[in-house]
Amino acid sequence: MHASLSFDQAPPISVPYRFFLVAPWFGVMAGILLAWSGSDAFVSRWTPEALALTHLIALGFMLQAMCGALFQFIPVAVGGNVWRPKLVANTVQPLLLLATLLLVAGFLFSRPGLLSAAVPFFLLALGGFVMVVALALWRTPATGMTLWAMRMAIGGLAVTVLLGSLLAEALAYGLAVPIVELTNVHLVWGLGGWALMLLAGVSYHVVPMFQLTKPYPLWFTRWFGPLLLLLLLAWSLRLFLDLSRWSMLVTLPLLAILSVYAGLTLWLQYTRRRKIHDATSLYFRVAMVSMLILAISGAAFVLWPALGADPRSVVWLGILAFAGVFVSAISGMMYKIVPFLNWLHLQRLGGPISAVPNMKKMIPAEAMTGQLRLHVLAVVLLLAAVWQPGLTRLAGLTLAASCAWLGWNLVGSVRRYQGFRDQIRAAA
């Protein structure tokens, strides 16, 4: 009975860390690229710099971190067994890294050959990842809305990768496909179908867990994922039908459910039982406030077309989504997961448990909150730079500095893990 059930918490510590340790440095690259390209980068979403920046954050920062987190989250939260996690992680992570660098170079230097060269690596890395994760998610006997959200998210990732690969080949070989519409569909599946769906599914667990809030109401967890999926499908119809007249009927409900999710999460946090605040809870707030601003400004762009016609309006929304929502939420999650995993793996070494330092000894609290402040400053400067191009270089440097600090905090945590591990082994 339930032979496939995983009750052990975790894959080897190297599995999630391999991904987590790389992610922030892609943020650093994005910041440096922005500082280097200066005020031209944000003129529109189609500049080579903007496309390169988007993929540095989406694939280098977000996807790396989210893949690493899934290896950890699936066994613990939904009792799924990921097939040979070490082997899969050791294969997927470097392939994904290589594919991302090829793709970004292809955008930045306008070399379509590099875009096409990246495709087989993406298909191999993410095709393998999707299959292994999907198998674990479908075979687990667990139930619940987090599981369903994760199943939908992994489907969203598959759609995003397929559309992205098609786009890369279309650009490389000049295939006759509607590039703009395909890009809009690819983008919304990546941000909504994969990243937001996963974030929501994970929130159902971690928001109550880290802050002792009330659970998300049943009506919400039951409807949010399926409704999001339905709206994404409706949005994708633009590939086949002329949607310009009723595009509003899809966009506004989409923005409305974003605000419900963000507003509800903020309310749950506000009425939480645990009074203590830490970098994780603050980062989650930054993410949710960014999502609310995104929804409100997105709605304004739809309702006042003169405002939305400015190509910079989409850049504004992009910065809110990538830097404001996802980089924030992911950074906050890593600040909780990494110290806990350090502790968990250290106390398994078999020494006396009291010899294992607690989570607060893994990353100094001041280093986390200081980095958080710098990140918020980076987001504000990035948003300001959309309308005041003179600020672009400063915004880029601030983003690079805040991501470097995040990376440094994580590296420090791993070094402390190694130091404590050696001490415990020596004592035993």
The residues of the shown chain that bind another protein, judged by CB under 8 A, are 1-2, 5, 7-9, 76-79, 141-144, 205, 209-210, 212, 273-276, 278, 336, 340, 343-344, 347, 353-354, 357-361
Q: Apex CA 134: angle with CA 322 and CA 91, to 5°?
A: 75
Please, which residue, 244 or 354, has the CB nearer to another protein? 354
* Min separation Cβ 231 and another protein, Å: 28
Comparing CB distances to another protein, the nearer of 5 and 302 is 5
- Least distance CB 271 / another protein (angstroms): 12
| DSSP result, 414-425 | HHHHHHHHHHHH
Q: C-beta of 114: minimal distance to another protein in Å?
A: 42
Judged by CB, which is closer to another protein: 2, or 222? 2
Closest separation between CB of residue 211 and another protein, Å?
Answer: 9
Least separation in angstroms between residue 353's CB and another protein is: 4
CB-nearer residue toward another protein: 281 or 331: 281
Rank residues 3 and 309 by Cβ distance to another protein and give the closer one: 3
Measured from the CB atom, the residue of 48 and 412 that comes closer to another protein is 412
Residues 6+ away with beta carbon under 8 Å from 386? 42, 312, 315, 316, 319
Distance of closest approach, residue 339 Cβ to another protein, in angstroms: 8
Kindly state the smallest distance separating residue 65's Cβ from another protein, in Å: 18
Q: In the complex with another protein, which residue's Cβ is closer, 176 or 276?
A: 276
